[in-house]
Structure 1
Amino acid sequence: MATTAAAVRAPERRRRPRYTVGGVVFTIVTGLVFLAFAVICAYPFYFLLINSVSANDLSAQGDVRWWPIGFHLQNYLEVFKLPGLPAAAMVSVARTVLGTVATVFASAFLGFMFTQQRMWKRQLWYRLIVITMYFNAGIIPIFLIMKTLGLTNNFWVYILPFVVAPFNIILVKTYVESLPASLQEAAEVDGANVFQIFFRIMLPSMTPILATVAIFSAVTQWNSFQDTLIYVTDQSLYTLQFVLYMYISQAASLALAAQQAGGNIGSVASAATSQTATSIQVTVAVLAVAPILFIYPLFQRFFVKGIMLGAVKG
């Protein structure tokens, strides 16, 4: 028995990886390089955060670089008091949620349908959608179309133009083609129609690629402000990003107004917390970025699998 156990353990010992000096050095250097890239990517967000909670007079002078100095949260309390911010936040949340749901569903359905041989003029419709990735009519023609359709000063101008996204449709189509054809064939043998196959068979199998599409769509919807600038003049439809953009461009005048409203600016305590252009800019930037930073990790585990399977066929 002892001989047999030793014989079984011998191959296990031989299969253990042998560490060489070159391999260890390569692993350490690679880890340090990736760590450096991670720090480079994370530091701008960290810089915004520490400056938003540091003494405003020091942050305005550029003295806050590595850790907070004179910690306080007054900047966030003041920024939340800016007029129009809560309503704009609700508009942004609504457009992000509705726009993401609409885009994900349209991308899933069209990506699935473009894999169906029975679809009438399938190749023609697919090429017409893909060609829009390369040709654009321009801002003025698009604005005239939106105005003709009654979408200017309309909440749906944030949703409808983003529903059909060619890149997302290509990802979903390629992903569906990578799934076993036997799934659909078995459902067809059982008498399922196209909609039953899509909702009951294919849609539950698309979770990784749909999570990827959801990330792309949510980030696009949340960060978009140019459509507000072009199509919307009704202040009740302003998005958070557009309002923050205006506040950043008007940071100096807003800081002066906040200081005048605060009173007793000459004291030491108020000098550290009185609003400056820099304090408003960094605080507004943190508020704009924070939601995406919290949401992205929830979908990260689907992201790599979805983007890889949706980008490579076979």
Structure 2
Amino acid sequence: MKERSVGGTIFDSFNYLFMLVILVLMLIPFVYIISYSLSTPSMMKGGLILFPKGFTLDSYKKAFDDPAVLSGVFISVARTIIGPAAMLLFTSMAAYVLTRAELIGVKFFRKFFVFTLYFSSGMIPMYLLMGYLNLTGTFLVYILPAVISVFNMVLIKTYIEALPRELEEAAVMDGANHFLLFFKIIFPLCMPVFAAVVLFDSVNQWNSFIDTQIYNTMSPNLYTLQYVLYNTLNQINSLEQLKVQGQTEIGALTPQTFKMAITVITVLPIACVYPFLQRYFIKGLLVGSIKG
């Protein structure tokens, strides 16, 4: 027992050390980006920096002075709130329906939805469909195509199937219909898996920019923050370009610090939200692994 205890201690110590190294390796790039964005360019000597040199907020002031950034923040926040909320409502109801054995053709519908996980129509048919539905150049193109997520539906369906059937039977005996059964009984019990799928979808909505590039390139008022960052990284490559945009102090800002500032603005919201949903996220990921 003593040898096993010593061996276990050594093993745990190795694991802690290994995870600490991984943590440091993952944090260093974020610390570097934040420190660089808060530093005065004239004091930068190159190499890795972990603390700001010549603390300044000029890059952030410049970022928020750009109307495209403010508009991008608004669009990204709006789609990150509305998109996951709509997805959760419709996807959870579809998942509940697929758990009903009395539904005619339920086995076919289950296979039909799973089929879409492996095969898709492709980008061109999707673009033509969005154009036919008059969704291109609109905010709804960010929301409606993602209202149903089959992957999230499978997670929610599995979670619902693991719930005690006695709760449903008791509610039905009290006269509850399917709407009351879902919203009063099932919905409150599914919060862990809901937190997981909402986090999945929120990160996807916040980070997405390809749909902006495909459907809303001609609508600058609908650019997301990620797409603004994408354009910034492609277009701002010299101090002269910043001067054209109104920058007069050469030493106060460089394209690199501006890029770093927008990167921080883009990453920070999700990084702040994730810790609050982590415990629900982990529990939701374990859905279906333990039953009984």
Question: TM-score, normalising length from structure 2?
Answer: 0.93
Give the CA deviation at 1:313. 5.5
Deviates more, 1:67-76 or 1:256-265: 256-265
Residues 236 and 242 in structure 2, CA contact (< 8 A), matched pair in contact too: no
- In the alignment, does 2:36 pair up with 1:51? yes
Residues 242 and 255 in structure 2, CA contact (< 8 A), matched pair in contact too: no
Partner of 1:302: 280
Q: Pick from 49, 70, 73 the counterpart of residue 89 of structure 1.
A: 73
Post-superposition CA distance 1:166-205 (Å, at most 9, x none) = 1100000110111111111111111211111001000000
Aligned AA (1:189): M
Post-superposition CA distance 1:189-238 (Å, at most 9, x none) = 11211111001000000000000011001000010000010011211111
- In the alignment, does 2:212 pair up with 1:239? no
Change (3 A) 1:85 1:147: same
- In the alignment, does 2:61 pair up with 1:102? no
Q: Pick from 265, 285, 291 the counterpart of residue 287 of structure 1.
A: 265
Partner of 1:220: 204
- In the alignment, does 2:104 pair up with 1:126? no
- In the alignment, does 2:24 pair up with 1:39? yes
| Percentage of pairs with the same residue | 37
Aligned AA (2:259): Q
Change (3 A) 1:118 1:286: same
- In the alignment, does 2:251 pair up with 1:276? no
Partner of 1:80: 64
Aligned AA (1:183): L
Deviates more, 1:177-186 or 1:201-210: 177-186
Post-superposition CA distance 1:255-309 (Å, at most 9, x none) = 42334644354xxxxx2x2x22211221111111011001111211211111102
Partner of 1:11: none
Give the CA deviation at 1:165. 0.5
Structure 2 unaligned regions, length at least 5: none
Partner of 2:155: 171
| Two-structure CA RMSD over aligned residues (Å) | 2.0
- In the alignment, does 2:46 pair up with 1:62? yes
Task: Tell me, in whole angstroms, the C-alpha distance in 2 between the residues paired with 1:312 and 1:137.
Answer: 35
Q: Pick from 85, 110, 130 the counterpart of residue 146 of structure 1.
A: 130
- In the alignment, does 2:202 pair up with 1:202? no
Larger radius of gyration: 1
